Amino acid sequence: MDRDKILIYVDHVGRFYAQRYGFSPVTGRLIGYLSVCEPMEQSINDIAEALLTSRSAINNAVKMLETQNLIHRLRPAGTRADLISLSPLNSKNMGFDPSEYQELASLAREGLGLLDNASPERRQALELTVSLNEFLAEKLPQLYEEWNEHYKNRK
């Protein structure tokens, strides 16, 4: 593959994740790189070299993406270096995990408890947060199943 085209693509992905999700640019660039690199599993040294950045920046990005279940770390027997790859997509790392929305609804309900005597205007933002997040928590599992069917039928 053309290294310059890969770096341009990786920069575009990095910019998207930085603007949309507040990820550091190198974290988004790591996602982009892992989506197109050959082989699919890369050491931190290889990634740092390919992305023209430091090992520590890649290490920090890897740690952050591990918490999101977006990457997988593997250490083959007899080696001293971890290999990093994108995790297979699933409901949890694709935004279909209802527990996140259930937790947000619960936090908003807790906040509403503090505003028992407040005006409807003061309570509105938290009421909307509860309503939206409960709705999403209910609908996401069904939507994920529909998407799975859609994807299977495309093949």
Is the residue at 27 inside a domain? yes
Total tally of structural domains belonging to the chain = 2
**Domain identity same for 82 and 7:** yes
**Domain identity same for 9 and 64:** yes
**Domain identity same for 49 and 112:** no
**Domain identity same for 125 and 60:** no
Angle at which helices 3-21 and 25-36 pack, to 10 degrees? 130
Strand arrangement, sheet containing 83-86: 42-43, 83-86, 71-74
- Point out the domain boundary residue: 86, 107, 124: 86
Is the residue at 107 inside a domain? yes
Over the stretch 21-48, which tens digit does the pLDDT of each residue have? 999 999 999 999 999 999 999 999 999 9
Which range marks the domain in which residue 127 is found? Answer: 98-154
Query: pLDDT tier at 53 (50, 70, 90 boundaries)?
Result: very high
Q: Which carries the bigger pLDDT value, residue 155 or residue 153?
A: 153
Is the residue at 91 inside a domain? no
Is the residue at 104 inside a domain? yes
Question: Is pLDDT above 80 for 88?
Answer: no
Is the residue at 93 inside a domain? no
**Domain identity same for 104 and 77:** no
**Domain identity same for 66 and 103:** no
pLDDT at 87: 87
pLDDT at 155: 67
Nearby residues of 95 by Cβ (< 8 Å), 6 or more positions away = none
Over the stretch 90-133, which tens digit does the pLDDT of each residue have? 767 777 889 989 999 999 999 999 999 999 999 999 999 999 99
| Residue of 100, 18, 31 whose CA lies nearest to 62 | 31
pLDDT at 127: 97
Query: pLDDT tier at 138 (50, 70, 90 boundaries)?
Result: very high
